[in-house]
Amino acid sequence: MSSDDVDGNKILAEALVAQGVKYVFGIVGIPVIELSMAIQQAGLHFVGMRNEQAACYAAQAIGYLTKRPGVCLVVSGPGLLHTLGGMANAQMNCWPLLVIGGSCAQDHEGIGGFQECPQVNLARPYCKYSARPPGLTLIPTHVEKAVRLSLYGRPGVSYLDFPGNILAQRVSDSKVVHTAICPEPPLAWPDPALVSQAASLIVRSMRPLVIVGKGAAYAGAEVIVRDFVRTFNLPVLPTPMGKGVVDDNDFHCVSSARTTALQHADTILLLGARLNWILHFGRPPRFDPNVRIIQVDICAEELHNSVPAKVAIHADIGTFTRQLIQQLIGHAWALRYMSPWWGQLNSKSDKNKAVIMKMTQDTRIPLNYYTVFHHIQEAIPKDCIIVSEGANTMDIGRSMLRNRLPKHRLDAGTFGTMGVGPGFAVAAALWCQDYAPDKRVICVEGDSAFGFSGMEIETMFRYNLPIIIIIVNNNGIYSGFDEETFQSIREGGEVTKVTPPTSLSTNVHYERMMEMFNIKGHFCVDIPQLQRALQQSLQVKDVPSIINVMINPSADRKPQNYAWLTESKL
């Protein structure tokens, strides 16, 4: 054996380094334990988590934040199967992710190998690329391709499969085919004729609206998009994770007149958002049936989806917006016709704000959502990263918690996945350590949502991550029951036949999970307690905190004009 012999683990670890990967999340076991060590020896972060799904959520959040895929490393069979939900979530959100699965040794395939499983095929529906490198020497080639496919075009997921025998094999380093780092994706430039068409539609519009989605956040287009809406005084509506591309506090942000803006806009400029359920499919009754849509997307196949666009532009949002500004300069005068539109939006917005303000002033116990969120918003740093999931908790929190900066909101997203919060928060906190050490991560969870990945609190503790978890606790899914009603429903009946499926145990002291680490959590039933808990948690810089806020189990959202977003019209 010559001294330049390397094994598959080392080749793979170094190939990840060569491709600019920095963070690996996962759970180790046979056959990837040595790989995880090789990964650390190569200088990468390895973050061991408590469930593969959560590891996969963390890896994809780091991909969204850094525009370089995070890796999720898992074991064979069940390990990879647990990861599929996370892969689907990343693929749906268009976030870059590289999943690496160990798999059973090739000579055990077909004869009942340990955790034998058709992993390349299982991963394929949730991926842009799913492959098993044919041997040691081609590992770097496949890693480069996997990273490239995760980043180029519409970002998404790659899966690479490594049988245990390949990882353990050795080969002379001189035989390994090394690859250069996959460069940043090419910027797609818009067709200038289409930019002109877009400009003339906007100039002729009486009621224009700019919708910014998380594609605009991913594009890093915030500076130019802010410049655009301010220069031409245009109203902007963010999607949930498009929040912060334009500051939520900016006068141009019309989130509090969302329904009016969508229903009455005559021209919509869609920047990096799909016309899916989140945007009511772009159709009536939420949209004007005659609305003219100018759609900008990096994914050509997305253009005209759900409704035909008047102008469909395949381009990066930054390059497009820069050119659009050039075309519009000199036409700003035309936009003066918009003043009635601004009047309509502002008056609706003022009305909605007044209704909400009133609800936030109700401090009766048990508390309501709006009061709780109002005081959270008052206390938290204005540039923090907000992670949020749950049903009402996420929906109400979206309007009450403001984002000043892009990519500062991570939530259940396009796929509406519950359980993402703690994993996203772990990734966000690591990102803060590297890029913004004073920034805090606030993870606002419904009590049901928290249950999916709650054990990641141990991960947060192990890696000294000062994440503040706030559990908005209403004893259930959507809503729960007070203690007395809960007990009386169950009395005498067979509990599994009578306990309402949406209910959870009442008054659960989730904050006591902190006692596993000899730390006290916070249990709050009123506003002064919540204020104190937030203040104290913000002082803590090296461990997570849990604040468990009890709210009225039948607290609800402000009445909506329309039924639940997902209600079918069939």
The footprint of Mg ion (CB under 5 A) covers 446-448, 474
* Between 108 and 154, CB nearer to ligand ADP: 154
Minimum separation from the CB atom of position 215 to ligand ADP (A) = 2
Which option in Mg ion, ligand ADP, none does residue 298 bind, with CB closer than 5 to 8 A by kind? ligand ADP
* Between 150 and 474, CB nearer to Mg ion: 474
Which option in Mg ion, ligand ADP, none does residue 474 bind, with CB closer than 5 to 8 A by kind? Mg ion
Minimum separation from the CB atom of position 142 to ligand ADP (A) = 25
d(CA 77, CA 444): 33
If we measure between CA atoms, which residue out of 139, 47, 24 comes closest to residue 465? 47
* Between 113 and 242, CB nearer to ligand ADP: 242
Which option in ligand ADP, Mg ion, none does residue 446 bind, with CB closer than 5 to 8 A by kind? Mg ion
* Between 9 and 474, CB nearer to Mg ion: 474
The alpha carbon of 226 is separated from its chain's Cα centroid by a whole number of angstroms, namely: 22
Minimum separation from the CB atom of position 386 to ligand ADP (A) = 15
Look at strands 468-473 and 409-411 and give their pairing: unpaired
Contact 66, 60 (CB under 8 A): no
Crossing angle of helices 52-66 and 421-435, rounded to 10°: 40
Which option in ligand ADP, Mg ion, none does residue 219 bind, with CB closer than 5 to 8 A by kind? ligand ADP
* Between 32 and 298, CB nearer to ligand ADP: 298
The alpha carbon of 100 is separated from its chain's Cα centroid by a whole number of angstroms, namely: 21
Minimum separation from the CB atom of position 299 to ligand ADP (A) = 4
Tell me the residue nearest to ligand ADP as measured from the CB.
215
Minimum separation from the CB atom of position 447 to Mg ion (A) = 4
One-letter amino acid for residue 492 of the chain: G
* Between 277 and 562, CB nearer to ligand ADP: 277
Which option in Mg ion, ligand ADP, none does residue 242 bind, with CB closer than 5 to 8 A by kind? ligand ADP
One-letter amino acid for residue 38 of the chain: A
- Token readout for 396 is 């109400």
Minimum separation from the CB atom of position 446 to Mg ion (A) = 4
* Between 302 and 447, CB nearer to Mg ion: 447
Minimum separation from the CB atom of position 380 to ligand ADP (A) = 23
Minimum separation from the CB atom of position 89 to ligand ADP (A) = 11
* Between 77 and 244, CB nearer to ligand ADP: 244
Between vectors from CA 527 to CA 523 and to CA 531, what angle results, nearest 5°? 75
Which option in Mg ion, ligand ADP, none does residue 244 bind, with CB closer than 5 to 8 A by kind? none
Minimum separation from the CB atom of position 185 to ligand ADP (A) = 8
Which option in ligand ADP, Mg ion, none does residue 241 bind, with CB closer than 5 to 8 A by kind? ligand ADP
One-letter amino acid for residue 135 of the chain: G
Contact 107, 80 (CB under 8 A): no
**Burial letters 295-334, b for 16+ CB under 10 A, else e:** bbbbbeebeebbbebebbbbbbbbbbbbbbbebbeeeeee
Which option in ligand ADP, Mg ion, none does residue 397 bind, with CB closer than 5 to 8 A by kind? none
Which option in ligand ADP, Mg ion, none does residue 213 bind, with CB closer than 5 to 8 A by kind? ligand ADP
Minimum separation from the CB atom of position 450 to Mg ion (A) = 9
* Between 239 and 360, CB nearer to ligand ADP: 239
Which option in ligand ADP, Mg ion, none does residue 239 bind, with CB closer than 5 to 8 A by kind? ligand ADP
Q: Which residues have a Cβ under 8 Å from the Cβ of 383 and sit 6 or more positions away? A: 404, 405, 408, 439
Residue ranges binding ligand ADP (CB under 6 A): 93-94, 154, 213-215, 218-219, 239, 241-242, 272-274, 276, 278, 296-299, 302, 316-317, 414
- Token readout for 149 is 């496919």
d(CA 295, CA 282): 11
Q: Is 100 exposed, middle or buried (0-12, 13-18, 19+ CB in 10 A)?
A: buried
* Between 70 and 242, CB nearer to ligand ADP: 242
d(CA 228, CA 486): 54
Alpha helices in 361-446, H assignment, sequence order: 369-379, 392-400, 421-435
Contact 394, 382 (CB under 8 A): no
